[in-house]
Chain A
Amino acid sequence: MTIDELRQIAETERAAQKKYSYRVNVCIAAGCLSSGSDLVRDALKKEVAECGMQSEVLVKGVGCMGLCSEGPLVAVESAEGVLYAAVTPEQAPEIIRGIDTGSNGLRHLEVEMPFFRRQKKIVLENSGAIDPERIEDYIAHDGYTALLTAITEMRPEEVVQQVIRSGLRGRGGAGYPTGLKWSTVAKTGEQQKYVICNADEGDPGAFMDRAVLESDPHRVLEGMAIAAYAVGATHGYIYVRAEYPLAVKHLKGAIRQAERMGLLGNAIAGTRFSFHVDIRLGAGAFVCGEETALIASIEGKRGTPRPRPPYPAEAGLWDCPTLINNVETFANVAPIIRNGPAWFAAIGTEKSKGTKVFALAGRVNNTGLIEVPMGIPLRDIIYEIGGGVPEGRRFKAVQTGGPSGGCIPEQHLDSPVDYESLARVGSIMGSGGMIVMDETSCMVDVAKYFMEFCMSESCGKCVPCRAGTRQMHELLRKITGGNAGAADMALLEELCDLVKNTSLCGLGQTAPNPVVSTLHYFREEYRQHLEGDGCAAGVCKCAAKPAGKAVTA
């Protein structure tokens, strides 16, 4: 496969799609699929066949369009363009028969609504536009040109330089500069090296990586292949959760197609560069998101972390230098090579470049998957893109970073979304879960929820995390049950400090974060539970005690 052949395929595919006057895209990613969008697609196809409009109307299944709460979504691409919401199979005749006029009285969404207008799509640019099961559709959207350009026209060092200059940082949460990681692996000399894609997305309330893998699997493969070329690796693994069957299916299909076209495998594009990708299924251990635990799991062992250094960049999989990046990080690579690092670096803030994908959920009107430029204020995400808190209730906090993150209260809503600003207000960027909470959520209960998560996900290797999370959970249970005193609070705070500073890996080190941030911003709620004022949100089972009988410390 040469770059000219690739362009030829793209041309043919574009011409084939242009022949249709109307392209009907049905979201078949997990969110809409769980509302039966596959049946909607089949009904639309059947209707097109019955009306004899096969030459005019193309019905295709596409990836996530973002606004999951309104699914199943159906977009009609034509001169006007219509986006239908909550479509049922029974509505197929109305959509197809009224396709030329667009007038059928069905509920549709404003394409220019702030939910769509305020976003900036790089990682998700193909999501909802291409058929994830067809490599030709990806190629028609400039797919694999970055890979072929890199391996035929650039030296590996130049590729690393481009990534460094783009300012891309790891999207798994910690924000380590991607280019720096690549150059460390590249410098380890000539030996067996590996590239690993971390798709073990474990944060509860986060589904960004799944959406990317389901909607645009080739984008991730292309990013991995470019990375492999840059660092000198020949073999890659994608470690993906077994709980994501659709993502696994799309990935497997994508690898097969790319191999058949000679875009993966031996001697890609007639060069000396070879790259093979294998899938490894995770088995439901949150700690395997930690890189050394993930490597242990690929080696067939229990997923327990080990102390670093040595970092995987020096001694990773089978003790070979290994580059590990997150799904979203790899998905950013091809556009950077294609459009140049300066283009990427122009988006975002001084220290956080590009965009970030978030899974926006919880007590917010528009839930779904969004991609925003770095630096956008949290308030704009929640009130403009998210459409605010439903049922006229009061916003209380937004949680980012999952069990490793914190709750950000109203007074910090104007903070820009970037790695440093979120850390400053006591949370983290995290992998991209963003849960909005209103006055019906009790912050002590939320802290307990995350602690329960960390407790049961602790791998048990180091004592501070194994025993500390259990003790903290017990204390939080006592507090929410209305049975705690001042000594328990003091112990809780002491444990936060201890577990944070002495745990072996990121899971334990960040486990106290939800407690620390809620203690900082919502200490009053803790006080209410302690002093017998009850749970204001009405979540916890501690009834307010009659005055005079309050537990005094």
Chain B
Amino acid sequence: MSRAPALAACVAVVGALGVGEARAYDFEVRARTFGQGYQLPTLHLLGGELWLARRRFTESLSFTVWDLGDLRRDRRRAQPGRPDDGPVIWLSAHLRLDHDYGDWTMGAIDVDGRAIDAIDQVPELAASSLGLELLYGELAIDGLWHRVDLRLGRQLHLDDVDPWSMDGISARIRTPWPVTIEALAGLRVRDGSPLGASAVELDGTTGADCREYVEGPSPGAGTWQIIDRSRVPGDDRLGSDLAYCPQRTALMPMAGVAVEATGAGARARLAYRRTQSRTPGLIGDVDRLDHPDRGLYPDELGQAPAWGVNEELISVGVDGRWRPGGARGVTVAPWARARYSLIDAAVADAGAGVRLERGPHAVEPEVGYARPLLDADSIWSVFVTGASTDLRLGYQLAPRRGRLRARATAWARRYALPDPGAETAPAATSPWVGGGRVRAELAVTPRLRAELDLLGDDGYGGRRLGATATGRWQARRDLALTGRLGGLHVVTDQRASTGGASGVGQLGARWAIDGGLALDAATELSASPRAAAQLRVVVQLEIALEDDR
């Protein structure tokens, strides 16, 4: 995100918090301080690889303040036993400061004998150079009129297959019938949003090398040119001097609605979501360039629409859970879901399966379908793309009393190429891929657990065989130790140099210093054909506070 809006947002937040009389509220605060040190390689085919340091400092702060206005507390006093008979207001937020001060991000790249800040050459690195991100920060009003839950502010959703975030308002309305209605509206969070995070933005576009259409001598004879060509990279290593793309900073209004019905052990949900953005107009002064400047897109004859839809989805899902045979019978939990992209006029992904449980055993057969779903502003949205179909079979052993728990999964996938023209070329690899994985955990003693993880897969992409053994020992009430040994053999079907056998050893400890204070330290030593030894160290200090009223 750009730092000016971030600073403004911080000032606004601090200002807002500073207003008014201080009151004592129930609260929960969790702060985590991370320090990481490791190296990543830059590939040099001749003369060996150059390893660059990542030195990462991260501070995250999440807090929740309950019962703002003491509404619930007052009700408890007035009507003991009925504290929830009315609205409750609370505030929750998660803020993160992240800085990578190692050479990986803050160093330079040699381009044609000229050293350029890495972050200028690769603007995408800005996501980790210096980030101040508000991942969520919402004011919640629950139980309004006994039926409505409201959320205001930045709301993070981790649904289906991707995380997304919105600055706005959402409401969940519980009707007198077993039907719930949800509605939301606001601005979708982008990398360029105040305190925004790139990870929640629609995928498919990057702010690097962003180009605008510069008209030529006659209509249609223009060329695309880097917008930032008039800029000169500066010495600011905390931000990219060449990441400027008006389309990626355009406000992105979004709205959605969902209806959910439950009953008889089943649920059905139908949802719709649409995100759009305005087409940027002129960039800067009209006479900024030698040629007529028509804006980001060619628009000589008014072709460029004022708005474009970035994402529009309809999703439907049904699931249920029944135990027809009583407490000792089989539990049947079928599910099916699908997302249809109105942008692509095609199903984006779908799946169906069932979980069958009996005692400690569960079997999960399922089938899935997926094709890439990208921001409609990305040209890849119009590329011919294939879909993949998955068949999966899972087994889970989860006894309530047993010491052994396990999960085994076997899967197979087939890729379908929609363009017969691509099939005419001799295939380098099979369209099939499949694999299996078995994980087991044994409670050797109440304080010692042993885990084993075996995996193998083959087909498109390559072949992998691996095993990992883990031991977890609660040495003392306040001290837990973890050790792990693993090996993986990879044969890729593309570049042999990225294959081979690698091994890893890890040692970690968690020391619960006090009730709300814990220190985690972990180190990893790995060896692979590319590096005889790599060391990685992660240290985390966790502080959790809550009022003791």
Q: Do A and B come from one complex?
A: no
Interface residues, chain A, with chain B CB atoms under 8 Å away: none
